A and B are shown apart, each in its own frame.
Chain A
Amino acid sequence: MPPKKLRRNIDIIGVGSSISGLADKTDGCINLTTRELWAEAAAAAIKDSGLPHSAIEALYIGNMQSSYNEGQYHLGYVLGMCNGLEADEGIFKSAVGVEGACASSSHAIRAAVFAVASGAYDVVIAGGVEQGNTKWDWTSPGEAQSMNTMDLLTGIFAHLDQGWEVPQMNMLDHVMSQWLLAYAKHYHLSKEQLLKMLDARVITNWTNGLGTPELFWNPPIEEMLKQFNVSDIHELLASPKINPVRNWPIRRWDYMRRVDGASAVVICAADVSKNTKRIPIHYLGTGNALQQYALSRDMYRMPFVEEAGKQAYSMSGLMPSDINIVEMYDFGPAEYFLPLEDLGFWGRGESYERAISGSGLYSGDKPVNPSSGGSTCGCVSGAIGAASIGHLVRELRCEAGAKQVKPQPKIGMAYDCGGARNCVIHILGR
């Protein structure tokens, strides 16, 4: 079968994000709902594109759990009125919500890309929004109520198969732990090497996040050591009191912090972007594949990630060696190391050496998450894919400031995954 191709050349012409934080705790975030978060991100992306609001023809909005946290489904309808997309007096342009757990915004972006590639539209806005840390409903509109742990978890774990995984106690944290154990055993890592590899990822992500003021959580490592009265970063990460084990080998800080926020991208046909002043970033390829409960005989790899990568490489006509930079939705360490190898960015079995040698640093030879990934940006579940694309676009435009990868990358890849079993890949280039 011939490779699947987009029927028109597609560019990303604008990117933007809202503030991120906790809607019940963070200054500037208090009582923000999906409406304001999305409006802020959309306005930023449209401004960045240099196009007038009137050029936008449709909205594709990704979201994971607004029906749980805000009692609000039909998010396309609600947020379609928050973008300045009026077609006529009180009549709005097309707007549709897309859901794919943590990959919701990536699915929305894919849908938007396909809509432009088909010729149905020339310019669309897509992305994602999540307000998953507080609850409100029609009885107290917009008043963010804090949630207890079980409330939070019920919202999050609704992405699992409620007919099988939850009643059968197939918890994602156990599966993530299985991946790491199987990986370490397959490549004959020692227990100590496995933990060193996990430490190295955290340190790499934290280091990549340093000095970027807009990140949700970016304390300098020296300050962390002082705060916890330890002398060494490894001592800090190994401390069961400070960094308790969740599911060995995974510890608290190996996971992301879940935050609220939104990210948007403006997508257009290449014959539109050539008439603008903005540097267009080309959308070259995409892939999507999923796997039943993400389980296989070989738990040291993720076959569904390999399949999604294969589709994206085929569509783009590129190879793993062409990729200069990767943004990962690394909710945990397994979702960092295994996909990097499955996508061919790092070689099979190379993760330990690459992690401890700092390959993934923004200044490293195979940069991963120069934005810091979710470790300091936070996991804005329904928006994380759009945020990753925003980071990639800035790197490819050479607008990433202190975290600019040098030499300026030409090709970037974004990995996003819903529930750690529904993978979306995007490949962008300049």
Chain B
Amino acid sequence: MEPILYEFYQHMKNGKILGLCCKKCKTIAFPPRGLCRHCGNAESEWIPLSKKCNIVSVAAGYSAFFPSSPFILATVEIPEGTYFAVPLYDEFFSFSDNPDCIWEYYDSVVGKNGELFIGQNPAGAPMIAVRLCTCQV
């Protein structure tokens, strides 16, 4: 079996967001896994994932683990039918003095479409993030 986690991040460094598609049942694993989550098959192939997504939920604030700046974390759904959470970049959102600003913001972005892109986390490792867009998912 190939080093899946390593390959996944190497692809990200090359600007690609890839999942693993089971050769038997076509279930897509994202993040990629060694065996198909549905049928357990070990044979799969890398496939590019849609960069379009739908925003399912958001929250905002500091994380004690990444204390330097607050950030928004969005749960997104991609057309391939899986969910994951990624930081949401929105230049129009302000972490103002009102920590409850997320209450109104939630309504303004949940259900909207987003576009995934590859950024960097605070340690410099590749990280998937999302920005709002008007694209069709």
Alpha-carbon gap, A404 to B108, bound state (A): 47
Known: A157-B65, A169-B71. A175 touches B85 (CB 8 A): yes
Closest residue of chain B to A297 (Cβ to Cβ) is B56
**Is chain A's binding surface mostly helix, strand, loop or mixed?**
mixed
Tell me whether A145 is interfacial, beta carbon within 8 Å: no
Asked if B66 contacts A169 (CB within 8 A), the reply is yes
Q: A293 contacts which chain B residues (CB < 8 A)?
A: 83-85
Per-residue contact bits, chain B 102-137, to A (CB 8 Å; 1 contact, 0 not): 110011001000000000011101111000000000
Tell me whether A229 is interfacial, beta carbon within 8 Å: no
Alpha-carbon gap, A312 to B99, bound state (A): 39
Alpha-carbon gap, A336 to B82, bound state (A): 26
Q: A157 contacts which chain B residues (CB < 8 A)?
A: 65
Looking at A149, A171, A191, which has the most chain B CB atoms within 10 Å of its CB?
A171
Asked if A185 contacts B107 (CB within 8 A), the reply is yes
Known: A167-B121, A185-B106, A299-B57. A191 touches B100 (CB 8 A): yes
- 29 A-B residue pairs with Cβ-Cβ distance under 8 Å, sorted by A, are A167-B126, A168-B87, A169-B121, A169-B122, A170-B73, A170-B86, A173-B61, A173-B64, A174-B59, A175-B59, A175-B75, A176-B59, A178-B58, A181-B57, A181-B106, A185-B106, A185-B110, A191-B103, A240-B99, A245-B61, A245-B99, A246-B64, A247-B60, A247-B61, A247-B62, A295-B75, A295-B84, A295-B85, A297-B83
Tell me whether B31 is interfacial, beta carbon within 8 Å: yes
Asked if B63 contacts A248 (CB within 8 A), the reply is no
Known: A299-B57, A299-B75. A181 touches B102 (CB 8 A): yes
Tell me whether A1 is interfacial, beta carbon within 8 Å: no
Tell me whether A163 is interfacial, beta carbon within 8 Å: yes
Tell me whether B5 is interfacial, beta carbon within 8 Å: yes
Closest residue of chain A to B128 (Cβ to Cβ) is A168
Task: State how many angstroms separate the Cβ of B33 from the closest Cβ of chain A.
Answer: 9
Kindly identify which residue among A167, A175, A178, A248 contacts B103, using a CB–CB cutoff of 8 Å: A248
Asked if B64 contacts A170 (CB within 8 A), the reply is no
Interface size class of A (residues with CB under 8 A): 20 to 34
Alpha-carbon gap, A193 to B17, bound state (A): 41
Tell me whether A296 is interfacial, beta carbon within 8 Å: yes
Q: A153 contacts which chain B residues (CB < 8 A)?
A: 64-65
Asked if B64 contacts A164 (CB within 8 A), the reply is no
Asked if B125 contacts A296 (CB within 8 A), the reply is no
Task: State how many angstroms separate the Cβ of A304 from the closest Cβ of chain B.
Answer: 13
Known: A168-B121, A178-B57. A297 touches B63 (CB 8 A): no
Alpha-carbon gap, A292 to B81, bound state (A): 13
Tell me whether A249 is interfacial, beta carbon within 8 Å: yes
Within 8 A of A (CB), among B30-81: 31, 56-66, 71, 73, 75, 77
With A168-B85, A170-B84 known, 4 other A-B pairs at CB within 8 A are A171-B66, A174-B60, A245-B61, A297-B56
Q: Which residues of A contact B (CB under 8 A)?
A: 149, 153, 157, 163-164, 166-171, 173-178, 181-182, 185, 191, 240, 245-249, 292-293, 295-297, 299
Alpha-carbon gap, A178 to B62, bound state (A): 14
Task: State how many angstroms separate the Cβ of B78 from the closest Cβ of chain A.
Answer: 12
Closest residue of chain A to B103 (Cβ to Cβ) is A191
Per-residue contact bits, chain B 13-42, to A (CB 8 Å; 1 contact, 0 not): 000000000000000000100000000000
Closest residue of chain B to A167 (Cβ to Cβ) is B125
Interface size class of B (residues with CB under 8 A): 35 or more
Alpha-carbon gap, A141 to B86, bound state (A): 41
Alpha-carbon gap, A157 to B61, bound state (A): 17
Asked if A177 contacts B59 (CB within 8 A), the reply is yes
Closest residue of chain A to B58 (Cβ to Cβ) is A178
Asked if A168 contacts B127 (CB within 8 A), the reply is yes
Asked if A167 contacts B107 (CB within 8 A), the reply is no
Asked if A248 contacts B58 (CB within 8 A), the reply is no
Looking at A169, A177, A182, A249, which has the most chain B CB atoms within 10 Å of its CB?
A169
Which are the 9 A-B pairs with shortest beta-carbon distances? Answer: A247-B61, A177-B59, A174-B73, A171-B63, A245-B99, A178-B59, A299-B57, A174-B59, A248-B99
Looking at B57, B61, B103, which has the most chain A CB atoms within 10 Å of its CB?
B57
Q: B66 contacts which chain A residues (CB < 8 A)?
A: 169, 171
Task: State how many angstroms separate the Cβ of A257 from the closest Cβ of chain B.
Answer: 14
Q: A166 contacts which chain B residues (CB < 8 A)?
A: 65
Closest residue of chain B to A180 (Cβ to Cβ) is B59
Alpha-carbon gap, A167 to B84, bound state (A): 13
Q: A168 contacts which chain B residues (CB < 8 A)?
A: 84-87, 121, 127-128
Alpha-carbon gap, A296 to B82, bound state (A): 9
Alpha-carbon gap, A175 to B85, bound state (A): 9
Closest residue of chain B to A172 (Cβ to Cβ) is B63
Asked if A181 contacts B85 (CB within 8 A), the reply is no
Kindly identify which residue among A169, A176, A177, A247 contacts B127, using a CB–CB cutoff of 8 Å: A169
Task: State how many angstroms separate the Cβ of A230 from the closest Cβ of chain B.
Answer: 20
Q: B87 contacts which chain A residues (CB < 8 A)?
A: 168-169
Task: State how many angstroms separate the Cβ of B32 from the closest Cβ of chain A.
Answer: 10
Q: A245 contacts which chain B residues (CB < 8 A)?
A: 61, 99-100
Asked if A170 contacts B85 (CB within 8 A), the reply is yes
Asked if B61 contacts A248 (CB within 8 A), the reply is yes
Closest residue of chain A to B76 (Cβ to Cβ) is A295
